[in-house]
Amino acid sequence: MKRALSIWFPMLPIDLSRRRRSRELSPPDSEGCLLLISTSARGQIVSHCCPLAAQHGVRPGLNITQARAILPPTLHVRIEPHDPARDARALSALSVVAQSLSPITSAEAPDGILADVSGCARVFGGEEGLVRAAISRFTDLGFHVRAAIAPTYGCAQAVVCCGRSRIVPDGAQRQALYPLPIRALRLDPGTEEALREVGLDTIGQVMAIPRSVLPARFGEEL
């Protein structure tokens, strides 16, 4: 019986920057917010932001001037460059840590780990124990993390990226996937926008369309 574990780090770049900054003995994050910036033809663009910044309306894609204008002037703003190569190295290292849960793991760029946990759950007292162990391993290292187990990697990834750590029983994939938003499919932005334009907002709505129709209308990826 195949069982797949998906571990998701929703704040991987932010967590890495906080860990680095804590080693430099700087003020704690509670005193302000953190923005990670990339440079493009449009100037300095927000690549990632901490939850506090997001609460004030900052989102990836804004330029730094827009982000600063949104944030309260009394709030301390820390700005650091985003380093995708460092993210990739960290994710590869974290996939090695995950081998304490399963001997078969792989980094799933940009922010996840997949593992074949078939037959592994009994070591942890069942799949609930395995999910708790996965979360604990990486929380103890200072990361925000979610985990899910399902019969397929795709189902586990979709469930976990929608904000829940959970277990999907065998045969319950469709039930688990139907209500999820289409962002859980992790499609390219163009395909996702094309689906929304015709009123398709959930995976269930997409699955109701005959498979043969999808490539012609939305491309091979879907």
- Express each pLDDT in 175-213 by its tens digit: 999 999 999 998 988 899 999 999 999 999 999 999 898
For 134, residues 6+ apart whose C-beta sits below 8 A from its C-beta are 5, 7, 98, 101, 145, 147
Taking the C-alpha atoms of residue 218 and residue 222, their distance in angstroms, rounded to an integer, is 7
Q: What is the mean pLDDT of residues 28-48?
A: 84
Q: What is the mean pLDDT of residues 135-143?
A: 96
Could you tell me which of 124, 204, 210, 113 has the C-alpha nearest to residue 153?
113
Q: What is the mean pLDDT of residues 20-41?
A: 72
Give this prediction's pTM: 0.88
Angle at 124 between CA 123 and CA 129, to 5 degrees: 160
Cα distance between the two ends of the chain: 27
Residue 29 banded pLDDT, cuts 50, 70, 90: very low
Does 110 score more than 50 pLDDT? yes
Could you tell me which of 156, 191, 147 has the C-alpha nearest to residue 177?
156
pLDDT score for 165: 82
